[in-house]
Structure 1
Amino acid sequence: MQQQEVAKEPVKLGGFDYLIGAIAIALTVFQIWHGLAAELSAPVFLPIHLSWVLVLIFLVKPTFKKDGSPNGLYLLGRGLDFICALIAVWAGYRLSHFDYDDLSFLLDGLGNVDLYTGTVLIVLLLEATRRTVGWVMSLIAILFLAYGLWGNLLPDEFASKGFDLQELIRFHIFSTNGVFGAPLAISAGVVFVFVLFGALLQVTGAGQFFIDCAFAIAGRYRGGPAKASVLASAALGSISGSAIANTVTTGALTIPMMKKLGYKPEQAAGIEAAASTGGQIMPPVMGAGAFVMAQFTGLPYSEILLVSIAPAILYFFCTLLYVHLMACKLGLKGMDNVEKVRVVVKQGWHYLVPLVLITVLLLMSYSPVLVGLAGCLAIVLAAFSRRKTWVKFSALLEGLRDGALMILPISAACATAGLVVGVVGQTGIGLQFTQALLALSGGYLWGAFILIAIAAVVLGMGLPVTAAYIVLSVMAVPALNEFGLPVLTAHLIVFWLSQTSNVTPPIALAAFAGAGIAGASPMKSSVQAFKLAFGFFIIPLMMAYSGLLWRADETAFDFTVAILATIGLIISFACGVEGRLVNRLSPMLRVVLLAIACLMLVHNPVLRISALVALAGIMFWDWKKGKADD
């Protein structure tokens, strides 16, 4: 759930506020009812959900903006929007009432009305995706659909059978292989309730409580606001699942405080972007992609949650280390008049109950949909459990509305990603991509890793994280499996690399959002964010080359060495690049630290332990020198 996926920005609803609010709240009520009753089958529920989403998109995202467009043109566009919304309702009705028990459509083909329905729905979906996610996602889907239609015209190395429109619509619309496949099913079911949970956290004041806790814990230390930003983003980003939403929400408070303390504007923006992006890999809720991963791998979400804890903590350790080194170089101190932790916790401890509840229930392998709904109920009850945290009924309605509006780009992106996944399955292009990747990598895992990382960054320039992960996983995971990596390890590597687009120049949307708040250069901010978030590249490498993901066939010793080696890699690399431990480091010592970092990648316990001992010796020697050169 990234970028435009769940961006918690003020939604300008024009003159249709009440209409849109009513439709959005009705969608949320429908989703809650379905989550509790589960009386509708997927072929009925998913078309209703998608048509509802399309209606809202065409109403919320007008063809022409009111500001800057002639009044007549704006009204004409609104009329077109209403027509598209009505067509979406009609298409949803037709599909939800389609008789799948009558197999004549497989033998004789679709009737004209159903063929038109499927074609129009794809067109509406691509346009809705363009409005909410961007034209790149729609263009990628169009290219894949074109390959499905005319792949037989390409050279033999890239050719496919080539399918006619009848076969394409039947496969992608009237089955569970395309638009109504796993990505949309996960978005409409699991992701919606957790997005709603995040919306309710904000309107009840729980989000502010987590920010206050972060400042109470880290505010008094060197570079306090920056460290508090990292901790707050770890907590809130896990729930919101959106790097941009997290950057905007927490950054509005933390970025000005970082600037006031002495951080440069681009540094403040980069810190917030790197920390907020990390929220999407932090359990218990790791964004929409993690739930899609559970569907793709066939593994329980609780298993994904458990193996992700250690890498996520290591990522935030990496970011905190860079923040600390940056504060040391700038000579920054902590904040004054920081509230004590016990005082903050005493005032809002009841907000921790919903988070603990959903974590425990997920670990107990309860249905994620029911867990999310239980969390939503728990956060409302928590708010009303103490008189001073009561919220107005209008605020709860706002949360219900925001939950529906925040799911719009997610569902649109997932439905469109389903088209890409469907074409890959229908044409077999995934096998060709795997073979090409293996050939280009020269048979080396590190070569494939670099190629996949580049592909992830390029895809992420125009796609939300979830969509980038879905597209890349169906193409790249089989290649990683060929190198002997387990399925879950391969998926987590791709999932982590898919996050990098938020912080990697030249298009780093989370960094750009932070730059807007900080009044900084977007490109300089993205460079800072990339440096701070280098754990997104290093930790997946350690997943591939060590036992960083604890598996049943792995010993506690191997796992411990892998954790320590990753910590050593982070410290030696960061300090080598920044040129500082306690004191400023000589060029020779920086080279030694970078060499130690490379040794940590070698999957040899003896070599890694030797490198760790050498690193510990350097750190002790530098600490004994004191701080004479500060």
Structure 2
Amino acid sequence: MEHQAPPTAKLGGFDYLIGAIAIGLTLFQIWHGLAAELSAPVFLPLHLSWVLVLIFLVSPSFAKTAPKPIYHLGRGLDFLCVCASVWAGYVLSSFDYDDLSFLMDGLTSIDLYSGALLLCLLLEATRRTVGGIMSAIAILFLAYTLYGDVLPEQFASKGFELQEVIRFHIFSTNGVFGAPLAISAGVVFVFVMFGALLQVTGAGQFFIDCAFAIAGKYRGGPAKASVLASAALGSISGSAIANTVTTGALTIPMMKKLGYKPEQAAGIEAAASTGGQIMPPVMGAGAFVMAQFTGLPYAEILLVSIAPALLYFFCTLLYVHLMACKLGLEGMTQVEKIGAVVRQGWHYLVPLVLITALLLLSYSPVFVGLAGCLAIVVAAFSRRKTWVSGAALLSGLRGGALMILPISAACATAGIVVGVVGQTGIGLQFTQALLALSGGYLWGAFILIALAAVVLGMGLPVTAAYIVLSVMAVPALNEFGLPILTAHLIVFWLSQTSNVTPPIALAAFAGAGIAGASPMKSAVQAFKLAFGFFIIPLMMAYSGLLWRAEETGMEFGLAILATMGLIVAFACGIEGRLVNGLKPGIRLFLLAIAGSMLVEQPLVRIAGLLALGLVLLWDWRRGRPTPASQTPGL
């Protein structure tokens, strides 16, 4: 799932208390997932209250440094917020929804105060874990709800009273306790916990070892292994930043030793790690939100996402290969055989096969996640050499709870935005404005939505950016005749770009920290490597790249080939290299071939593919240049 790396700040004497509260939250979530005895109006306030308590204990009030002593003003405010979170959670979970008098007579003073207090606590917790921009966006939307009637007519809405706002966003399933938080508290939590258990049981290292065994001996081996490892781990963890830190700690130093520049190594890892969030079977928190928004089975989303995800990693691997050719790099001379690696850790594949099969069989995602957690623990204890200690398992339970904190805070706050769109009708106005600005052209709307995704991503996590953008932009894409799943997948993919797009590219910045590189140069490299996030959604709109029942196999196959042709022609035209360096005329010809792939006429695409094939054959017959240097074994 999409999340920030778990907080690591030491809290002195409170560290054990935080660990106990975090493990308690995990056990509560497991119990609810198995028993499901609590209704949503009871479970969600308890979950959010628990999350808020942990956030205020873990994150300091003002400075991002070690927490102050208990007598410090900031620490005192933290404990005041903890007490307020517990009280508000108790009041809201005890609210009697069967007594409909609150709809006629209004909320009581206690209910009104507790609802307003929870909103304030949530916005402050979001500021601490996600950033001030997310809180500011929610405040702006709430202000629009309260004062929309004073705006010019083209932007105006009915002004709602404070009690109406609190009742809608707190005492209903339309705001804070809407679909985003429900998904985060249910499905997302168990898969975050699954990812945490993968790390503490050693399964994560197994996937990295497999990637090096498969790709290490080829040109730019560690870089290609980084892409494969990030695809495997990111498909489960769903966090670009956590994925970058986890796999990058091993792959980035090896890439630098092979000959890649520090910013190139950081960019490769960031682009590959970000791709993990669009890779089945898990695809991050946003995919489960998509299932809720579209009303489609998760299995259907999973199946149609396989081909685009593989094309993204094909795109990234191609760029890595071209970069290695440009630098004259070779592969590693000493690589462990894949058979030996698999023999040592094949049992770690069983949980992945299990969760994929259960998802395809349309079992409940919560059940699938819990089954995966149990399976990874059983797998670890199935062989004596991979046993883990009880302390390690407790660390996994603690880590899973801490990693969910920014996700739940972001989803609850995003629920406010979704609620405002529904309460005020601003979504229709946005759709009309987008259609007008695009001039009625799909490509114009696509560019505007991509720009909005990049801007939103500067301050929002990927899942929150997707939620906000989907409620505003998907109706506009539907107006252009795109099916609802296609529209949502386009927005979902474009929302990923914030991790690799300057000036704020969090995954690239995380990679730069490991590589000792310039953050901005690393972001530029990551953006270039991850251009598939823009090209592949464009092909979703203009071709049959997403398999649908009415499509023939030939149409789907041509869409795949056209997308591959677009990727190859565009990348080689920009980089100026196939196997050998290319002159400007050939580069322009390749870019023209890339443009032909966007034409929806099959004959034009076939002609473009034939032309690309002739260029590839011509370059291959020129022979391979002598490497600049032979790289020693790593």
Report if TM-score (shorter chain) is over 0.5.
Answer: yes
Q: Aligned residue pairs: how many?
A: 627
1:475 to 442, 461, 472: 472
Match of 2:364 in 1: 367
2:29 to 28, 31, 37: 31
Structure 1 segments unaligned to the other structure (5+ residues) = none
1:60 to 26, 37, 58: 58
1:304 alignment partner AA: I
Match of 2:20 in 1: 22
1:290 alignment partner AA: A
CA distance in 1, matches of 2:32, 2:607: 57
1:410 to 394, 407, 412: 407
Q: Deviations over 1:408-459 (max 9, x none)?
A: 0000000000000000000000000000000000000000000000000000
Residue 524 (1) aligns with residue 521 (2): yes
| TM-score, scaled relative to structure 1 | 0.98
CA distance in 1, matches of 2:66, 2:103: 49
Residue 622 (1) aligns with residue 619 (2): yes
Match of 2:273 in 1: 276
CA contact (8 A) 1:8 1:249 kept: no
Match of 2:489 in 1: 492
Structure 2 segments unaligned to the other structure (5+ residues) = 628-634
Alignment map for 1:353-502 (pairs within 5 Å):
353-502=350-499
1:511 to 508, 512, 521: 508
CA distance in 2, matches of 1:71, 1:180: 34
1:348 to 345, 348, 352: 345
Q: Deviations over 1:163-219 (max 9, x none)?
A: 000100000000000000000000000000000000000000000000000000000
Match of 1:597 in 2: 594
Q: Deviations over 1:543-567 (max 9, x none)?
A: 0000000111111111000000000
| 1:628 Cα deviation from its structure 2 partner | 4.6
What SS does the aligned partner of 1:225 have? helix
CA contact (8 A) 1:8 1:248 kept: no
Match of 2:632 in 1: none
Q: Which moved more, 1:588-597 or 1:85-94?
A: 85-94
Match of 2:188 in 1: 191
CA contact (8 A) 2:9 2:66 kept: no
Q: Deviations over 1:371-399 (max 9, x none)?
A: 00000000000000000000000000000
Q: Deviations over 1:107-136 (max 9, x none)?
A: 110011100010000000000000000000
Residue 307 (1) aligns with residue 304 (2): yes
CA contact (8 A) 1:6 1:241 kept: no
CA distance in 1, matches of 2:25, 2:625: 63
CA distance in 1, matches of 2:170, 2:12: 33
Alignment map for 1:316-331 (pairs within 5 Å):
316-331=313-328
| 1:77 Cα deviation from its structure 2 partner | 1.4
Residue 97 (1) aligns with residue 106 (2): no
CA distance in 2, matches of 1:246, 1:606: 41
CA distance in 2, matches of 1:514, 1:545: 34
CA contact (8 A) 2:270 2:526 kept: yes
What SS does the aligned partner of 2:72 have? helix
| 1:70 Cα deviation from its structure 2 partner | 7.5
RMSD across aligned positions (CA): 1.2
Match of 2:630 in 1: none
Distance 1:14 1:152, change over 3 A: farther
Q: Deviations over 1:432-491 (max 9, x none)?
A: 000000000000000000000000000000000000000000000000000000000000
What SS does the aligned partner of 2:591 have? helix
1:155 to 147, 152, 156: 152
CA contact (8 A) 2:427 2:471 kept: yes
CA contact (8 A) 2:351 2:372 kept: yes
Match of 2:222 in 1: 225
2:159 alignment partner AA: G
Q: Deviations over 1:268-327 (max 9, x none)?
A: 000000000000000001000000000000000000000000000000000000000000
| 1:68 Cα deviation from its structure 2 partner | 8.0
2:50 alignment partner AA: W
CA contact (8 A) 1:6 1:240 kept: no
CA distance in 2, matches of 1:619, 1:9: 49
CA contact (8 A) 2:68 2:75 kept: no
| 1:93 Cα deviation from its structure 2 partner | 0.8
Query: Aligned residues: percent identity?
Result: 83
CA contact (8 A) 1:215 1:224 kept: yes
1:300 alignment partner AA: P
CA distance in 2, matches of 1:298, 1:485: 16
CA contact (8 A) 1:9 1:245 kept: no
Q: Deviations over 1:27-52 (max 9, x none)?
A: 00000000000011100000000000
CA distance in 2, matches of 1:291, 1:495: 11
2:308 alignment partner AA: P
Match of 2:631 in 1: none
Distance 1:63 1:298, change over 3 A: same
Distance 1:231 1:9, change over 3 A: farther
What SS does the aligned partner of 1:16 have? helix
| 1:65 Cα deviation from its structure 2 partner | 4.0
CA contact (8 A) 1:581 1:619 kept: yes
CA contact (8 A) 2:11 2:67 kept: no
CA contact (8 A) 1:583 1:629 kept: no
Distance 1:602 1:11, change over 3 A: farther
1:281 alignment partner AA: I
| TM-score, scaled relative to structure 2 | 0.98
Match of 1:296 in 2: 293
Q: Deviations over 1:138-181 (max 9, x none)?
A: 00000000000000000000000010001000000000000000
Match of 1:572 in 2: 569
CA contact (8 A) 2:271 2:527 kept: yes
1:26 alignment partner AA: G
What SS does the aligned partner of 1:614 have? helix
2:85 alignment partner AA: A
Residue 126 (1) aligns with residue 128 (2): no
Match of 2:143 in 1: 146
Match of 1:255 in 2: 252
What SS does the aligned partner of 1:15 have? helix
Alignment map for 1:224-243 (pairs within 5 Å):
224-243=221-240
CA distance in 1, matches of 2:576, 2:345: 41
1:7 alignment partner AA: A
1:207 alignment partner AA: G
| 1:14 Cα deviation from its structure 2 partner | 4.0
CA distance in 2, matches of 1:67, 1:408: 18
| 1:86 Cα deviation from its structure 2 partner | 1.0
Residue 85 (1) aligns with residue 82 (2): yes
Match of 2:551 in 1: 554
CA distance in 1, matches of 2:454, 2:74: 35
CA contact (8 A) 2:10 2:66 kept: no
